[in-house]
Structure 1
Amino acid sequence: MKAVAAKMGIGAAETVRTWVRKAEVDADQRPGVTSDEAAEIKRLKAENAELRRANEILKAASAFFAAELDRASKRS
């Protein structure tokens, strides 16, 4: 790993080792989360966070409009 890292101009052999491990996982030669799976998990987490934010906004809007309707019905 050190020789390959030196030939590639990379300071740390651990970087090359990490690339090899990731390539082995992606090729189903080693257990772990593949690059595609990791990207999908990241995308789903971002989508989940956005949906949670949207849900909070909708809850707040619902409470606001319910209060407005309640005030309007008391004035009539």
Structure 2
Amino acid sequence: MIKARVTVTLKNGVLDPQGKAIKGALGALGFDGIGHVRQGKVFDLELEGNDKAKAEADLKAMCEKLLANTVIENYTIALG
């Protein structure tokens, strides 16, 4: 069993209205000094088998086809 974490974030230059709303909410809650907030998503996956090279290739394909919109998002893969 291979554990993996895929982190998907917006590319630089892509507007992030949710990040802006989070920054505003943090300020309203009294958290000062927040310069910038970008939001993203994290996927924790477990893949059967022990072949890390195959797992990484499969995860890349998953990101390219479903988990990330590669036009506006970047992704990173970490195998555990």
TM-score by length of 1: 0.26
Q: Please, what TM-score do these two structures have when normalized by structure 2? A: 0.25
User: Greater share of strand residues, 1 or 2?
Assistant: 2
For the pair shown, the structure with the greater C-alpha radius of gyration is 1
